[in-house]
């Protein structure tokens, strides 16, 4: 009887974990003394740029582009994605050869200084059976690009999990931290509130929500973000400083980081498509 109870409890525990999702809550850096990386990273990827002094006048310059095949805003149990690392500009001088940057799953993150209660786990990991490159380096000509398959499998019940990019042989780390959602939490992609505290990209130029303009400062934009019929909607007007042109805008956010909408000319009814995307999660230094 005790064996059956333990088996049932194990099955229930596995089912609870298998339905657990995680959301991206932080992107931070752990540098080494005297070494710095200029990182611009978000849920879609970004860039990491740095120099390294090898001595004797040999200074290498590097810029790595990272691209995720999907937004990492939220991951469901069993969800897979690709992480691509590519040398946009990597120049190692004086015939030196070294490891430039590599991706590691949670198994490579034993602890996180900013999260003292972080528990070691392997919930985000490189897909089983993959034997290719996990990073970019200089010792083989063909290793300037790596496409790494990843998966989120919540095998251990923990509050946080992570993945990280390691520069060189541990000189610097850029860590993505994910927080486990309580059971039954709705998808952020479906209903999360958009964050308009940073500049977004759009089909009509960069949108600066807080300062009220798009494209350039003479193109004004004002409105209100509110919920309507279960959707986040931005409704307002566009205009020109010192000019008479104006019109209405309506943007519907199909996720916390993307919108699809339209603009009109004056009181006209003709709708012209306007789309955009953005994410205000800031890399911590």
What is residue 11's three-state secondary structure? helix
The CB density around residue 178, as the number of other CB atoms within 10 Å, is 24
pTM listed for this prediction: 0.65
- What pLDDT score was predicted for residue 186? 45
Structural domain spans, the chain: 22-185, 191-277
The whole-number pLDDT of residue 18 equals 53
The residue assigned the tokens 């070691």 is 120
pLDDT at 237 over 50: yes
Instruction: Specify whether the CB–CB gap between 140 and 132 falls below 8 A.
Output: no
In the predicted structure, residue 227 carries a pLDDT above the cut 90: no
Confidence of residue 90 (pLDDT cuts 50, 70, 90): confident
- Whether residue 242 contacts residue 218, with contact meaning beta carbons closer than 8 Å, is answered with yes
pLDDT at residue 14 above 50?
A: no
Mean pLDDT of 128-153: 87
């Amino acid at each position: 009887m005790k064996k059956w109870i333990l088996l049932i409890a194990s099955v229930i525990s596995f089912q609870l974990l298998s339905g657990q999702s995680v959301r991206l809550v932080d992107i931070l850096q752990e540098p080494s003394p005297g070494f710095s990386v200029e990182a611009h990273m978000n849920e879609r990827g970004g860039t990491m740029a740095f120099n390294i002094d090898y001595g004797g006048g040999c200074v290498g310059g590097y810029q790595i582009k990272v691209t995720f095949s999907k937004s990492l805003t939220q991951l469901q149990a069993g969800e897979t994605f690709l992480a691509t690392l590519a040398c946009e500009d990597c120049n190692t001088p004086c015939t030196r050869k070294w490891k430039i940057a590599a991706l590691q799953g949670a198994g490579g993150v034993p602890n996180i200084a900013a999260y003292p209660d972080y528990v070691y786990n392997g919930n985000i990991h490189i897909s089983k059976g993959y034997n290719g490159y996990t990073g970019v380096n200089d010792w083989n000509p063909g290793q300037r690009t790596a496409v790494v398959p990843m998966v989120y499998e919540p095998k251990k019940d923990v509050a946080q999990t992570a993945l990280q990019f390691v520069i060189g042989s541990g000189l610097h780390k850029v860590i993505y931290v994910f927080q486990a959602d309580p059971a039954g939490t709705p998808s952020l992609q479906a209903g999360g509130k958009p964050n308009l505290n940073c500049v977004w990209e759009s089909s009509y130029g960069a949108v600066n929500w807080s300062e009220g303009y798009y494209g350039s400062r003479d193109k004004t934009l004002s409105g209100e973000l509110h919920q309507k019929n279960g959707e986040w909607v931005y409704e307002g007007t566009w205009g020109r400083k010192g000019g008479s042109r104006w019109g209405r805008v309506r943007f519907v956010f199909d996720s916390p980081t993307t919108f699809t909408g339209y603009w009109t000319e004056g009181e006209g009814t003709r709708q012209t498509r306007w789309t955009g995307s953005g994410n205000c999660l800031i890399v911590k230094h």
